[in-house]
Amino acid sequence: MKINKIAVIALLIISLLATIVTSQKYKPDKLTFNFKDENTSISFYAELDGQIIPVPYEQFFNEFNKFGFKTNENLITRNLTAQGKTFNNKLYYKIDSSEEYLSNPLNPFMLERNLTGQTKQIKNEIGQTETRQLKRILDFSDIFGKDINLFVTSIQEINESFCVLSSGEDCIEYDYRLVNKTIKTERDISYSFIKQGKNWIIEFFNIFDLDPSFIDDTDTNWNAGTLRGFRVLGTGGSANLSSNNNSGHFASQVFDSNNANAN
């Protein structure tokens, strides 16, 4: 009887391990979107010595307007080291589409295409109603607004001064003590958008939380979203986004739940 119990437990463990391995094995590295007027797929990978390599990740998004992968440097490094490879901190999206997307002339983080025969009425900054061409926008802006992509956060011991003797409102003697403080250091990041026929290759260096979104909107309706580090210049067809700093981004709220802090 004891042997049978051990055998059953062993079988359960083997079954559980098989389930875990299977679930990891069939994690997708390619997401497909079938809109009524286009078919688009996005592949996620690393490239080392000219070889395309699937990348492990923590989670993926495949929603109506949101897609992408979230991973981290340590996870990828461990995986590639086990394969005898050295990670170069570069990750790629390849976008294959039946329709042609072009770079948005006003925002370097967006690709767009006109939706034939579709327009939308918008109000510009001075309250005028305008009819604008509706576009499908592939928006990478949120990626460059996430603290996890922009900064390395660490806890460091810092010498902090405090007053030990005062006279009235003036401190006449200070002492120092070590305190733990959260320190943000800017990450060394870069990106590039490379067009290959109808397809696009997007390269990310040292960026690991990658979840762009699809938006059907006009390219001048910037005030429909959250401007973080950007300001709107001009109105109507001449509206533009100007960055207040190097880490600004525009987070569209066309599909979200009016949460201006959502990434």
Q: What pLDDT does 221 receive?
A: 45
Spatial CA neighbour of 200 closest among 127, 109, 96: 96
Map tokens 């525009």 to a residue.
Answer: 250
Q: What does the block give as tokens for 211?
A: 């979840």
Q: What pLDDT does 16 receive?
A: 37
Angle CA 199–263–243, to nearest 5: 75
Task: Quote the longest CA-to-CA distance of the chain.
Answer: 84
Q: Where are the domains of the chain?
A: 2-153+184-252, 154-183
Q: Count Cβ atoms below 10 Å from residue 19 Cβ, excluding itself.
A: 10
Q: What does the block give as tokens for 107?
A: 């925002």
pLDDT category, 193, cuts 50, 70, 90? very high
Return d(Cα 101, Cα 88) in angstroms, integer: 28
pLDDT > 90 fraction of the chain, expressed in percent and rounded: 23
Q: Count Cβ atoms below 10 Å from residue 176 Cβ, excluding itself.
A: 11
**How do strand 240-243 and strand 230-233 relate by DSSP bridges?**
antiparallel
What's the sign of the alpha-carbon dihedral 169, 170, 174, 179?
positive
Question: Stretch 89-93: mean pLDDT, rounded?
Answer: 94
Beta strands in the chain (DSSP E): 30-35, 38-48, 51-54, 59-62, 67-70, 90-97, 102-103, 110-123, 129-139, 151-167, 170-186, 190-196, 199-205, 209-210, 213-217, 225-228, 230-233, 240-243, 249-252
Spatial CA neighbour of 253 closest among 217, 224, 210: 224
For the cut 90, the answer to whether the pLDDT of residue 207 exceeds it is yes
Q: pTM of the predicted model, to two decimals?
A: 0.65
Which helix or strand (DSSP H or E) is residue 90 part of?
A: strand 90-97
Spatial CA neighbour of 218 closest among 243, 252, 260: 252
Q: What pLDDT does 5 receive?
A: 55
Count H helices and E strands in the chain, helices first: 3, 19
For the cut 80, the answer to whether the pLDDT of residue 263 exceeds it is no
Q: What pLDDT does 244 receive?
A: 38
Q: What pLDDT does 6 receive?
A: 53
Question: Stretch 33-39: mean pLDDT, rounded?
Answer: 79
The answer for residues whose C-beta is within 8 angstroms of residue 58's C-beta and 6 or more apart is 70, 71, 72, 75
Q: What pLDDT does 164 receive?
A: 83
Strand order in the sheet with 102-103: 102-103, 110-123, 129-139, 213-217
Q: What pLDDT does 250 receive?
A: 36
Interval 110-169: pLDDT, tens: 899 998 888 888 887 788 888 888 888 888 888 888 888 999 888 888 888 888 888 888
